[in-house]
Amino acid sequence: MRKAWVLVVGIGAGLLLALGVSRAVQAQTDAPPWRESYSGLPLCLPGVYLSDPGDCLPLGPSQRLTAWARLGLTLPPRPLPASTPDPALNDSPVLIARINLPAEEPAPLYASLDDAVAGQNPVRFIDPGPLRYVSFVEVQRVNGKPYVRLRSGEWLRASPIAYSTFQGLIFHATPNHDFGWIVDLAGPAEVRSAPGYDAPKTGLVLRRYQVVPIYTVQRVGNMDWYLIGPDQWIERTFIRQVRVNPTPPPGVEGDRWIEVNLYDQTLAVYNRGQLIFATLIASGGEPFYTRPGLFQIYKKKPTETMSGAFAADRSDYYYLEDVPWTMYFDQARALHGAYWRAWFGFPQTHGCVNMSLGDAHWLFEWAREGDWVYVWDPSGQTPTDPSLYTPGGA
């Protein structure tokens, strides 16, 4: 009986062993050929991982999100810590009119409105030139034509003007990336999906003076391209950059300075290691460059009449009465409002740094005589030889 029991147990064990081997062989046969053999860490959930998470692999979407975050680009993008200054700063301290005569003709001034309308008995003349503006206290229209009376009491034919009300930004904290303004002199700014003219357009069109973040710059061919959003790139033709840098320039003493960037045509104001204001400017164009260097505001004047010519034949003569919010920093070169400028973001002056009236007013109220003005050109294209520079002008 015992032998029979042993025999049964032995047969049972053999059957179980054979069944196990059969199932193992079947499992190997049914295993899919694509089964992952890696047994390490799993992929991290999509997110930003600025340091090694340790328990997952920050690859795929996480890798891209982290690369953007290192540039300051987050999803959704964070707005700049800034606001627009008080619109009342745009108000001009004087009334301004443009002289309505061809540039080659002198402008006659008359003792009375009747003489001005009749065009007789002029008492003096303003020299010919393409840029002539006067401040006035009264305007009269005769036969549909405007005539203005100056503070001196003289009359002349001139048209009251409207001026640019563009304003920069006041900052409540220093942003962690650069930013800029769109300038569309060459037409609307079209955004591309990658740097380079071969990249597809996204369909996004940006307009003049729109503010955009700048996360990085990449050069393709002879053009710099700016990353302004996820897969959104714009060429330099259409943008002017503020290069955020709260470190004082060499030579600056104290914690207040104004930075004028000639290449980007921007102005930034720093106080106590923080960016507090930024805007677009118009600086000196060739050959009347704004001179690079470190200067100090030596004279502030609420209004200043500016005139002069640089060409031998005086064909570039300008006469500008009561230029508002003037801050001299380098001989006759000054920071000031420019009621005659329709565009900012392009060099076009005789050496001064032009701003909108609102921006110049804000800066005039903040600045003190003695404050530092750091003028530089990150491209290195502006000459630095002092012998090339005249005293400068508007």
pLDDT at 69 over 80: no
**CA–CA separation, 298 vs 286, rounded Å?**
25
Residue 336 is among the residues annotated as catalytic for this protein = yes
45-59, 134-148, 275-289, range with the lowest pLDDT: 45-59
Q: Residue 282 in contact with residue 354, Cβ under 8 Å?
A: yes
How confident is the model at residue 312, as a pLDDT? 87
14-18, 98-102, 262-266, 317-321, range with the lowest pLDDT: 14-18
Residues 6+ apart with CB under 8 A from 175: 72, 80, 81, 82, 213, 244, 275
Q: Which of 172, 177, 350, 352 is catalytic?
A: 352
How confident is the model at residue 68, as a pLDDT? 72
Say if 276 falls within a structural domain: yes
Say if 300 falls within a structural domain: yes
Q: Residue 303 in contact with residue 320, Cβ under 8 Å?
A: no
Q: Which of 44, 336, 350, 361 is catalytic?
A: 336
Say if 72 falls within a structural domain: no
What confidence tier does 252 reach under pLDDT thresholds 50, 70, 90? Answer: very high
Say if 305 falls within a structural domain: yes
Q: What's the rounded mean pLDDT across residues 298-315?
A: 94
CATH number at residue 376: 2.40.440.10
Do 226 and 351 lie in one domain? The reply is no
* Total tally of structural domains belonging to the chain: 3
Task: Give the torsion sign (CA, 50, 52, 56, 57).
Answer: positive
How confident is the model at residue 5, as a pLDDT? 38
What confidence tier does 228 reach under pLDDT thresholds 50, 70, 90? Answer: very high
End-of-domain residue from the set 160, 194, 221: 160
How confident is the model at residue 14, as a pLDDT? 44
Considering only CA atoms, give the Rg of the chain: 34
How confident is the model at residue 43, as a pLDDT? 81
pLDDT at 185 over 90: no
End-of-domain residue from the set 199, 222, 240: 240
Do 246 and 381 lie in one domain? The reply is yes
Say if 85 falls within a structural domain: no
Q: What's the rounded mean pLDDT across residues 121-149?
A: 97
Say if 216 falls within a structural domain: yes
45-49, 260-264, 279-283, 300-304, range with the lowest pLDDT: 45-49
Do 128 and 262 lie in one domain? The reply is no
The chain-wide mean pLDDT, for the chain, equals 89
Say if 68 falls within a structural domain: no
H helices present in the chain, as ranges: 2-30, 61-70, 113-118, 357-366
End-of-domain residue from the set 130, 160, 190: 160
Q: Using one digit for the tens of pLDDT, what is the confidence trace for 339-389?
A: 999 999 999 999 999 999 999 999 999 999 999 999 999 999 999 888 888
**CA–CA separation, 280 vs 343, rounded Å?**
9
Do 226 and 312 lie in one domain? The reply is no
Do 154 and 259 lie in one domain? The reply is no
Coil, helix or strand at residue 66: helix
pLDDT at 244 over 50: yes
Do 264 and 151 lie in one domain? The reply is no
CATH number at residue 193: 2.30.30
**CA–CA separation, 333 vs 348, rounded Å?**
14
Higher pLDDT, 261 or 42: 261
Residue 352 is among the residues annotated as catalytic for this protein = yes
How confident is the model at residue 22, as a pLDDT? 47
How confident is the model at residue 17, as a pLDDT? 37
Phi, psi of 42 (to 5 degrees): -80, 170
pLDDT at 251 over 50: yes
Q: What is the largest CA-CA distance in the chain?
A: 151
Residues 6+ apart with CB under 8 A from 322: 93, 94, 96, 135, 303, 304, 305
In the chain, pLDDT over 90 holds for what percent of residues?
A: 74
Do 182 and 259 lie in one domain? The reply is no
Say if 293 falls within a structural domain: yes
Do 259 and 366 lie in one domain? The reply is yes
Do 254 and 358 lie in one domain? The reply is yes
pLDDT at 13 over 60: no
How confident is the model at residue 48, as a pLDDT? 76
Do 126 and 195 lie in one domain? The reply is no
Do 134 and 219 lie in one domain? The reply is no
Q: Using one digit for the tens of pLDDT, what is the confidence trace for 145-183?
A: 999 999 999 999 999 999 999 999 999 999 999 999 999
In the chain, pLDDT over 70 holds for what percent of residues?
A: 90
**Type of residue numbered 135:** S
How confident is the model at residue 16, as a pLDDT? 35
**CA–CA separation, 17 vs 10, rounded Å?**
11
**CA–CA separation, 113 vs 142, rounded Å?**
9
How confident is the model at residue 20, as a pLDDT? 47
Do 262 and 362 lie in one domain? The reply is yes
**CA–CA separation, 163 vs 188, rounded Å?**
22
311: containing domain = 242-388
Q: What's the rounded mean pLDDT across residues 29-45?
A: 64
Higher pLDDT, 283 or 70: 283
Q: Using one digit for the tens of pLDDT, what is the confidence trace for 75-85?
A: 788 899 999 99
Sheet containing strand 82-83, strands side by side: 82-83, 169-171, 274-280, 266-271, 256-261, 372-376, 293-296
> CB burial class (10 A; 0-12, 13-18, 19+) of residue 313?
exposed
> CB burial class (10 A; 0-12, 13-18, 19+) of residue 358?
buried
